[in-house]
Protein backbone atom coordinates (compact mmCIF):
# COMPACT_ATOMS: atom_id res chain seq x y z
CA UNK A 1 0.00 0.00 0.00
CA UNK A 2 1.25 3.48 -0.87
CA UNK A 3 0.14 6.77 0.71
CA UNK A 4 1.05 10.28 -0.44
CA UNK A 5 0.80 13.34 1.84
CA UNK A 6 0.19 16.67 0.11
CA UNK A 7 2.27 19.34 1.89
CA UNK A 8 1.14 22.70 0.52
CA UNK A 9 2.45 24.29 3.74
CA UNK A 10 5.00 23.06 6.27
CA UNK A 11 2.58 23.60 9.14
CA UNK A 12 0.49 20.66 7.92
CA UNK A 13 3.23 18.27 9.05
CA UNK A 14 2.40 18.01 12.78
CA UNK A 15 -1.02 16.69 11.73
CA UNK A 16 0.44 14.27 9.19
CA UNK A 17 3.46 12.75 10.92
CA UNK A 18 1.61 10.78 13.64
CA UNK A 19 -0.39 9.09 10.87
CA UNK A 20 2.76 8.49 8.82
CA UNK A 21 4.36 6.64 11.72
CA UNK A 22 1.24 4.58 12.37
CA UNK A 23 0.96 3.60 8.71
CA UNK A 24 4.63 2.64 8.54
CA UNK A 25 4.11 0.29 11.49
CA UNK A 26 1.72 -1.55 9.17
CA UNK A 27 4.17 -1.76 6.30
CA UNK A 28 2.72 1.16 4.31
CA UNK A 29 5.05 3.16 2.04
CA UNK A 30 4.66 6.88 2.76
CA UNK A 31 5.71 9.77 0.52
CA UNK A 32 5.51 13.50 1.19
CA UNK A 33 4.96 15.92 -1.69
CA UNK A 34 6.47 19.32 -0.91
CA UNK A 35 5.74 22.54 -2.82
CA UNK A 36 9.00 24.37 -3.56
CA UNK A 37 9.39 27.85 -2.08
CA UNK A 38 12.63 29.51 -3.20
CA UNK A 39 12.66 31.83 -0.18
CA UNK A 40 12.35 28.89 2.22
CA UNK A 41 14.40 26.30 0.35
CA UNK A 42 16.84 25.74 3.22
CA UNK A 43 14.10 25.36 5.83
CA UNK A 44 12.07 23.06 3.61
CA UNK A 45 15.09 20.85 2.93
CA UNK A 46 15.90 20.62 6.64
CA UNK A 47 12.35 19.67 7.60
CA UNK A 48 12.09 17.18 4.73
CA UNK A 49 15.33 15.47 5.77
CA UNK A 50 13.92 14.71 9.22
CA UNK A 51 10.80 12.88 8.04
CA UNK A 52 12.51 9.55 7.49
CA UNK A 53 10.72 8.71 4.27
CA UNK A 54 10.61 9.59 0.58
CA UNK A 55 9.96 13.22 -0.41
CA UNK A 56 8.89 14.48 -3.84
CA UNK A 57 9.13 18.12 -4.92
CA UNK A 58 6.64 20.05 -7.06
CA UNK A 59 6.15 23.67 -8.04
CA UNK A 60 2.37 23.91 -8.02
CA UNK A 61 -0.86 22.09 -7.28
CA UNK A 62 -1.26 21.23 -10.96
CA UNK A 63 2.19 19.63 -10.95
CA UNK A 64 1.27 17.75 -7.79
CA UNK A 65 -1.89 16.53 -9.51
CA UNK A 66 0.21 15.16 -12.38
CA UNK A 67 2.37 13.26 -9.88
CA UNK A 68 -0.69 11.73 -8.23
CA UNK A 69 -2.29 10.77 -11.54
CA UNK A 70 0.92 9.15 -12.79
CA UNK A 71 1.94 7.42 -9.55
CA UNK A 72 -1.57 6.25 -8.60
CA UNK A 73 -1.06 5.93 -4.82
CA UNK A 74 -3.71 4.02 -2.89
CA UNK A 75 -4.41 7.10 -0.77
CA UNK A 76 -3.75 10.83 -0.96
CA UNK A 77 -3.94 12.77 2.32
CA UNK A 78 -4.64 16.50 2.04
CA UNK A 79 -4.72 19.23 4.68
CA UNK A 80 -6.61 21.94 2.83
CA UNK A 81 -8.68 22.59 -0.29
CA UNK A 82 -7.46 20.65 -3.34
CA UNK A 83 -9.16 21.21 -6.67
CA UNK A 84 -10.02 18.39 -9.05
CA UNK A 85 -9.92 15.39 -6.73
CA UNK A 86 -12.52 13.66 -8.88
CA UNK A 87 -9.75 13.12 -11.46
CA UNK A 88 -7.90 10.97 -8.92
CA UNK A 89 -10.77 8.97 -7.51
CA UNK A 90 -10.83 6.25 -10.20
CA UNK A 91 -7.51 5.01 -8.84
CA UNK A 92 -6.74 6.91 -5.61
CA UNK A 93 -8.83 7.47 -2.48
CA UNK A 94 -8.42 10.88 -0.84
CA UNK A 95 -8.62 11.74 2.83
CA UNK A 96 -8.86 15.25 4.28
CA UNK A 97 -7.22 15.93 7.64
CA UNK A 98 -7.82 19.59 8.40
CA UNK A 99 -4.65 21.34 9.52
CA UNK A 100 -6.51 23.07 12.35
CA UNK A 101 -9.61 23.01 14.55
CA UNK A 102 -9.96 26.74 15.10
CA UNK A 103 -12.91 29.11 14.62
CA UNK A 104 -12.28 30.22 11.03
CA UNK A 105 -14.99 29.50 8.49
CA UNK A 106 -12.46 27.82 6.19
CA UNK A 107 -12.58 24.82 8.54
CA UNK A 108 -15.87 23.93 6.87
CA UNK A 109 -15.39 25.23 3.32
CA UNK A 110 -12.28 23.08 2.68
CA UNK A 111 -14.76 20.21 2.28
CA UNK A 112 -15.68 21.78 -1.06
CA UNK A 113 -12.80 19.64 -2.34
CA UNK A 114 -15.09 16.62 -2.07
CA UNK A 115 -12.52 14.07 -0.83
CA UNK A 116 -13.38 10.39 -0.56
CA UNK A 117 -13.58 10.87 3.19
CA UNK A 118 -12.90 13.59 5.70
CA UNK A 119 -11.50 12.58 9.09
CA UNK A 120 -13.27 14.78 11.62
CA UNK A 121 -12.68 15.90 15.20
CA UNK A 122 -15.64 15.14 17.39
CA UNK A 123 -19.40 14.55 17.02
CA UNK A 124 -20.48 18.19 16.86
CA UNK A 125 -18.43 19.03 13.80
CA UNK A 126 -19.13 15.69 12.19
CA UNK A 127 -22.87 16.42 12.42
CA UNK A 128 -22.50 19.97 11.19
CA UNK A 129 -20.32 18.98 8.23
CA UNK A 130 -22.74 16.22 7.28
CA UNK A 131 -25.56 18.78 7.23
CA UNK A 132 -23.53 21.13 5.06
CA UNK A 133 -22.32 18.37 2.70
CA UNK A 134 -24.99 15.63 2.81
CA UNK A 135 -23.45 13.68 -0.09
CA UNK A 136 -19.94 13.57 1.45
CA UNK A 137 -18.48 11.02 3.84
CA UNK A 138 -17.26 12.04 7.30
CA UNK A 139 -15.69 9.85 9.97
CA UNK A 140 -15.31 11.02 13.56
CA UNK A 141 -11.85 9.95 14.73
CA UNK A 142 -10.49 12.83 16.83
CA UNK A 143 -7.56 15.20 16.34
CA UNK A 144 -4.39 13.37 15.32
CA UNK A 145 -1.99 16.24 15.96
CA UNK A 146 -2.18 15.75 19.73
CA UNK A 147 -1.36 12.03 19.63
CA UNK A 148 2.38 12.33 20.43
CA UNK A 149 1.68 14.23 23.66
CA UNK A 150 -1.17 12.01 24.83
CA UNK A 151 0.63 8.78 23.94
CA UNK A 152 3.86 9.86 25.66
CA UNK A 153 5.90 9.49 22.46
CA UNK A 154 6.87 13.18 22.26
CA UNK A 155 10.46 14.02 23.15
CA UNK A 156 9.89 16.53 25.93
CA UNK A 157 11.75 19.83 26.21
CA UNK A 158 12.76 21.70 29.35
CA UNK A 159 13.04 25.48 29.80
CA UNK A 160 16.79 25.06 30.32
CA UNK A 161 17.16 23.46 26.87
CA UNK A 162 15.61 26.60 25.40
CA UNK A 163 17.96 28.88 27.32
CA UNK A 164 15.26 29.85 29.80
CA UNK A 165 15.08 29.88 33.60
CA UNK A 166 13.75 26.56 34.97
CA UNK A 167 12.58 28.34 38.14
CA UNK A 168 10.14 30.58 36.27
CA UNK A 169 6.69 29.63 34.97
CA UNK A 170 6.55 29.46 31.18
CA UNK A 171 4.18 31.29 28.84
CA UNK A 172 3.63 30.18 25.27
CA UNK A 173 2.59 33.06 23.01
CA UNK A 174 1.28 31.54 19.77
CA UNK A 175 -0.51 34.16 17.66
CA UNK A 176 -1.95 33.55 14.24
CA UNK A 177 -0.91 35.68 11.25
CA UNK A 178 -4.26 37.36 10.60
CA UNK A 179 -6.14 38.72 12.37
CA UNK A 180 -3.23 38.88 14.79
CA UNK A 181 -2.54 40.45 18.16
CA UNK A 182 1.22 40.79 17.54
CA UNK A 183 1.09 44.45 16.48
CA UNK A 184 -1.03 45.28 19.55
CA UNK A 185 1.59 43.92 21.95
CA UNK A 186 4.09 46.29 23.56
CA UNK A 187 7.64 46.44 22.26
CA UNK A 188 8.58 45.92 25.94
CA UNK A 189 6.46 42.76 26.28
CA UNK A 190 9.30 40.55 27.63
CA UNK A 191 10.38 43.12 30.22
CA UNK A 192 6.80 43.73 31.33
CA UNK A 193 6.47 39.95 31.88
CA UNK A 194 9.97 39.46 33.31
CA UNK A 195 8.75 37.02 35.99
CA UNK A 196 7.87 34.56 33.24
CA UNK A 197 9.72 32.63 30.58
CA UNK A 198 8.19 33.41 27.19
CA UNK A 199 8.21 31.01 24.25
CA UNK A 200 7.06 32.79 21.09
CA UNK A 201 5.75 30.42 18.41
CA UNK A 202 4.28 32.56 15.62
CA UNK A 203 2.28 31.26 12.70
CA UNK A 204 4.44 30.09 9.82
CA UNK A 205 3.24 32.97 7.61
CA UNK A 206 4.38 35.58 10.16
CA UNK A 207 7.93 34.36 9.66
CA UNK A 208 7.83 33.36 6.00
CA UNK A 209 5.55 35.81 4.18
CA UNK A 210 6.92 39.20 3.05
CA UNK A 211 3.53 40.75 3.81
CA UNK A 212 4.14 40.32 7.55
CA UNK A 213 7.60 41.92 7.83
CA UNK A 214 6.36 44.32 10.54
CA UNK A 215 5.36 41.34 12.65
CA UNK A 216 8.83 39.83 12.17
CA UNK A 217 10.52 43.02 13.35
CA UNK A 218 8.48 42.96 16.55
CA UNK A 219 9.22 39.26 17.09
CA UNK A 220 12.96 39.71 16.50
CA UNK A 221 13.03 42.63 18.94
CA UNK A 222 11.51 40.47 21.66
CA UNK A 223 13.89 37.59 20.95
CA UNK A 224 16.85 39.66 22.11
CA UNK A 225 15.60 39.48 25.70
CA UNK A 226 16.96 36.77 28.02
CA UNK A 227 13.52 35.45 29.03
CA UNK A 228 12.38 34.88 25.43
CA UNK A 229 12.78 31.93 23.07
CA UNK A 230 11.61 32.58 19.51
CA UNK A 231 10.87 29.44 17.49
CA UNK A 232 12.28 29.64 13.96
CA UNK A 233 10.50 29.11 10.66
CA UNK A 234 11.85 25.56 10.36
CA UNK A 235 10.49 24.62 13.80
CA UNK A 236 7.07 23.78 12.46
CA UNK A 237 5.83 21.61 15.31
CA UNK A 238 4.32 23.51 18.21
CA UNK A 239 3.73 20.39 20.32
CA UNK A 240 7.08 20.42 22.21
CA UNK A 241 6.39 24.01 23.27
CA UNK A 242 2.83 23.21 24.27
CA UNK A 243 4.12 20.38 26.43
CA UNK A 244 6.58 22.56 28.37
CA UNK A 245 4.35 25.65 28.74
CA UNK A 246 2.17 26.39 31.77
CA UNK A 247 -0.13 28.91 30.08
CA UNK A 248 -0.97 29.73 26.46
CA UNK A 249 -1.59 33.24 25.14
CA UNK A 250 -3.16 33.33 21.69
CA UNK A 251 -5.81 34.96 19.52
CA UNK A 252 -8.18 33.47 16.92
CA UNK A 253 -6.08 30.36 16.44
CA UNK A 254 -6.56 26.60 16.52
CA UNK A 255 -3.83 26.54 19.14
CA UNK A 256 -6.37 27.83 21.69
CA UNK A 257 -8.38 24.64 21.42
CA UNK A 258 -5.37 22.36 21.09
CA UNK A 259 -3.82 23.68 24.32
CA UNK A 260 -7.16 23.55 26.13
CA UNK A 261 -7.43 19.90 25.10
CA UNK A 262 -4.32 19.31 27.23
CA UNK A 263 -6.27 20.76 30.19
CA UNK A 264 -3.99 23.76 30.60
CA UNK A 265 -5.13 27.38 31.06
CA UNK A 266 -5.54 29.61 28.03
CA UNK A 267 -5.61 33.39 27.74
CA UNK A 268 -7.52 34.56 24.66
CA UNK A 269 -6.53 37.96 23.24
CA UNK A 270 -9.57 39.83 21.96
CA UNK A 271 -7.48 42.65 20.51
CA UNK A 272 -6.36 42.37 16.90
CA UNK A 273 -4.70 44.46 14.25
CA UNK A 274 -7.29 44.59 11.45
CA UNK A 275 -6.61 45.83 7.93
CA UNK A 276 -8.60 48.85 6.74
CA UNK A 277 -10.75 46.58 4.58
CA UNK A 278 -11.95 44.74 7.71
CA UNK A 279 -12.78 47.77 9.89
CA UNK A 280 -15.75 50.12 10.21
CA UNK A 281 -18.37 49.59 7.54
CA UNK A 282 -16.34 46.63 6.29
CA UNK A 283 -16.38 44.76 9.64
CA UNK A 284 -18.74 42.21 8.08
CA UNK A 285 -15.71 40.85 6.21
CA UNK A 286 -14.07 39.98 9.51
CA UNK A 287 -17.22 38.23 10.71
CA UNK A 288 -17.41 36.30 7.43
CA UNK A 289 -13.80 35.18 7.85
CA UNK A 290 -14.51 33.82 11.32
CA UNK A 291 -16.81 30.89 12.00
CA UNK A 292 -19.86 31.36 14.22
CA UNK A 293 -18.18 29.01 16.71
CA UNK A 294 -15.70 31.79 17.58
CA UNK A 295 -17.96 33.22 20.28
CA UNK A 296 -19.90 30.06 21.04
CA UNK A 297 -16.72 28.66 22.60
CA UNK A 298 -15.41 31.89 24.04
CA UNK A 299 -15.66 30.71 27.64
CA UNK A 300 -13.06 28.00 27.09
CA UNK A 301 -10.51 30.62 28.17
CA UNK A 302 -9.92 33.77 30.16
CA UNK A 303 -10.09 36.85 27.92
CA UNK A 304 -7.93 39.96 27.71
CA UNK A 305 -9.65 42.81 25.88
CA UNK A 306 -6.45 44.87 25.60
CA UNK A 307 -2.72 44.47 26.01
CA UNK A 308 -2.93 46.65 29.11
CA UNK A 309 -5.19 44.09 30.81
CA UNK A 310 -3.18 41.05 29.68
CA UNK A 311 -0.79 40.85 32.62
CA UNK A 312 -3.51 40.70 35.27
CA UNK A 313 -5.37 37.99 33.29
CA UNK A 314 -2.22 35.90 32.92
CA UNK A 315 -1.37 36.23 36.62
CA UNK A 316 -4.91 35.21 37.55
CA UNK A 317 -4.77 32.08 35.38
CA UNK A 318 -1.41 31.09 36.80
CA UNK A 319 -2.84 31.34 40.31
CA UNK A 320 -6.14 29.63 39.37
CA UNK A 321 -5.35 27.11 36.59
CA UNK A 322 -8.56 25.13 37.11
CA UNK A 323 -10.96 28.06 36.70
CA UNK A 324 -11.99 26.96 33.18
CA UNK A 325 -11.39 23.24 33.63
CA UNK A 326 -15.02 22.19 33.08
CA UNK A 327 -15.36 24.32 29.95
CA UNK A 328 -12.10 22.94 28.56
CA UNK A 329 -13.33 19.39 29.00
CA UNK A 330 -16.76 20.09 27.53
CA UNK A 331 -15.56 21.97 24.46
CA UNK A 332 -12.70 19.60 23.81
CA UNK A 333 -15.26 16.81 23.44
CA UNK A 334 -17.12 18.89 20.84
CA UNK A 335 -14.23 20.32 18.83
CA UNK A 336 -11.40 17.80 19.16
CA UNK A 337 -13.36 14.67 19.95
CA UNK A 338 -11.64 11.84 21.73
CA UNK A 339 -8.15 12.89 22.88
CA UNK A 340 -6.54 9.59 23.79
CA UNK A 341 -3.33 9.35 21.75
CA UNK A 342 -4.88 6.80 19.38
CA UNK A 343 -6.44 9.01 16.68
CA UNK A 344 -3.79 8.17 14.08
CA UNK A 345 -4.28 4.50 14.79
CA UNK A 346 -8.02 4.81 14.09
CA UNK A 347 -7.35 6.66 10.82
CA UNK A 348 -4.76 4.09 9.75
CA UNK A 349 -7.15 1.23 10.51
CA UNK A 350 -9.84 2.89 8.42
CA UNK A 351 -7.47 3.41 5.48
CA UNK A 352 -6.17 -0.15 5.60
CA UNK A 353 -9.69 -1.60 5.52
CA UNK A 354 -11.15 0.74 2.87
pLDDT at 122 over 80: yes
Strands 170-173 and 197-200, bridge-based pairing: parallel
Q: Is the dihedral of CA 40, 46, 48, 51 positive or negative?
A: negative
Cα dihedral: 240, 243, 244, 247 (round 10):
120
Name the CATH topology of 159-335.
Rossmann fold (3.40.50)
Q: What is the pLDDT of residues 302-348, one digit of tens each?
A: 999 999 999 999 999 999 999 999 999 998 988 888 899 999 999 99
Q: How confident is the model at residue 213 (pLDDT cuts 50, 70, 90)?
A: confident
**The pLDDT value given to residue 159:** 95
pLDDT at 275 over 50: no
**Which residues in 2-28 are b (16+ Cβ under 10 Å) and which e?**
bbbbbbbbbbbbbbbbbbbbbbeeeeb
Q: Where in the chain is the domain with CATH 3.40.50.12580?
A: 159-335
Q: What is the pLDDT of residues 241-257, one digit of tens each?
A: 999 999 999 987 788 99
Higher pLDDT, 137 or 204: 137
**The pLDDT value given to residue 276:** 43
Q: Which candidate, 156, 348, 181, 163, places its Cα nearest to that of 252?
A: 181
Helices 13-25/343-353 angle, 10° precision: 60
**The pLDDT value given to residue 290:** 52
Average of per-residue pLDDT across 202-224: 86
**The pLDDT value given to residue 288:** 53
**The pLDDT value given to residue 287:** 53
Average of per-residue pLDDT across 19-48: 94
Q: What is the mean pLDDT of the chain?
A: 90
Q: pLDDT above 70 covers what percent of the chain? A: 93
Higher pLDDT, 304 or 179: 304
Average of per-residue pLDDT across 87-115: 88
pLDDT at 282 over 80: no
Q: Where in the chain is the domain with CATH 3.40.50.11190?
A: 2-143+338-353
Higher pLDDT, 205 or 28: 28
Q: How confident is the model at residue 218 (pLDDT cuts 50, 70, 90)?
A: very high
CATH code for the domain defined by 2-143+338-353:
3.40.50.11190
pLDDT at 225 over 80: yes
Q: How far apart are CA 278 and CA 282, in angstroms?
A: 5
Structure letter (DSSP) for residue 290: B
Structure letter (DSSP) for residue 232: P
Average of per-residue pLDDT across 110-135: 93
Q: How far apart are CA 239 and CA 250, in angstroms?
A: 15
pLDDT at 108 over 90: no
Q: What is the pLDDT of residues 73-93, one digit of tens each?
A: 999 999 999 999 999 999 999
**The pLDDT value given to residue 176:** 81
pLDDT at 284 over 60: no
**The pLDDT value given to residue 298:** 85
Amino acid sequence: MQVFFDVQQLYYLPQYTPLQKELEKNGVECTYVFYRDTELARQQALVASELGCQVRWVGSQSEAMSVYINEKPDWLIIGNFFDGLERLHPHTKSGLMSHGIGPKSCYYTVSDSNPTVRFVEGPYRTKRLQELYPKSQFVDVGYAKLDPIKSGELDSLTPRELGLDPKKPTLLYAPTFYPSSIERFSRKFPREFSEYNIIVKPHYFSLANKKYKKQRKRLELWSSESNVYLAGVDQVNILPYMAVADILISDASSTLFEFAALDKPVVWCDFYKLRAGYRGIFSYRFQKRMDEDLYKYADIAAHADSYESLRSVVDSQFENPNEYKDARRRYTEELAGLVDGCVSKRIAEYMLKA
